[in-house]
Amino acid sequence: MKGVRIVDLTSVLSGPFCTWLLSTLGADVIKVESPKGDLARGTPPFEDGISLYFASLNRNKRSIVLDLKSEGGRRALHRLLETADVLVENMRPGVRDRLGCSDEDLKQINPNLICASISGFGQKGSLSQRPAYDIVVQAMSGMMSVNGPLGGPPTRVGYSVGDISAALFTTIGILQRLYERDANGGGPGSTLDVSMLACQWACLENAFARYLNAGIVAGPIGSRHPSMTPFEPYPTADQDIVIGLGSGQDWPNFCETIGLPELSDDPRFAEDEVRLTHRDLLDEILGQHFKQKSSSHWLALLIENEIPCSAIENVESVASNPISAEYHAFSTVNATGAGEMRFARNPIADPEEIESAAPALGQHTSEILSELGYSSDEIEQMTE
């Protein structure tokens, strides 16, 4: 994406995650902030006064401060958009119009511009004006209803899946529209309306497939899989491990590997659907068996015999594991005033690319205005 300029009018999580992904693929991302800055700059925890939340999501970007309530600020934004390939925003529907950036305005400013809007419920739907955060969308979409302990209450997924999935779908949509625009010889631009709610519905594909076609209403089942077993955690003598059989073909090998070959031909467990019917009994048998020896014993056996399995890690154990370095899990940046900081890396970005730290508020204002043709006197006047 070298040579692609993204104007980033987003804040907090969904939009900044999308534009961070694009930045790691080579795009020049210019983050437009108000004089108060992105709300995420004030989100704890802090390291030497820098929000770790903001620092993670805004690597590789340049920050320009524009007062978009002023005519001069809006005019500078429009000049910036003239030079851009993509505008990404996650403001409340209608706010963009008040900035002189409606769909019709953008056609006049830059007919080749792609505009991607992320919101809770879309730009035009009956719910469009309702505020939304991740937990609201998880609840409304049905996502919470399938998450949580077996038979327990609906539970929010442990990370902001509503925001992150919207960011991923937006990134895909932007890449598709850039490809189509360039395949058509450089124009025209297009708009992309991404609803967090619709993205959650897409992520619930299996739950909806089962209900729409078989009338099955999914509910919370802990770490179990709705269609396969064994596919969940099991206790050992020292800690829980996870085992996941993706196919009935693995069942005989699994039984032989763990020293219970008789289970393979047991009529209660021999076939996939029948095994699901007797899942509680199977879990009891396996649980008692695995408790007899350590997790390292079982994992070594299972891995040797190509049975999908793992210990249950946490962020500390993952970060200190040599495997994370082998797979380039983290990126290191040098943040002014905070020294070296490490964050999760885009897994499809070039691991050799060095990321830059999230910018200070307005760090690149003069630089970007100069690129737009503003004189030093004009820049000083605007700053004042």
**Catalytic residue positions, numbered:** 225
Beta carbons of 213 and 138 less than 8 angstroms apart: no
DSSP label of 293: S
- Measure the CA–CA gap between 326 and 9, rounded to whole angstroms: 35
Q: Which residues pair with 115 in a beta bridge?
A: 87, 191
Q: Looking at the chain, how many residues does it have?
A: 384
- Measure the CA–CA gap between 50 and 43, rounded to whole angstroms: 9
- Measure the CA–CA gap between 33 and 355, rounded to whole angstroms: 21
Three-class SS state of 190 = coil
Tokens representing 210? 């089962």
Residue whose C-alpha is closest to residue 237's, from 283, 291, 309: 291
Sign of CA dihedral 65, 69, 70, 73: positive
> What value does the CA radius of gyration of the chain take, rounded to a whole number of Å?
25
CA 20 vs CA 4, 6, 24, 113, 152: distances in Å = 13, 10, 6, 19, 36
Pairing outcome for strands 86-89 and 114-119: parallel
Number of alpha carbons in the 13 Å side-chain half-sphere of residue 150:
8
Q: Which residues pair with 208 in a beta bridge?
A: none
Tokens representing 137? 């969308």
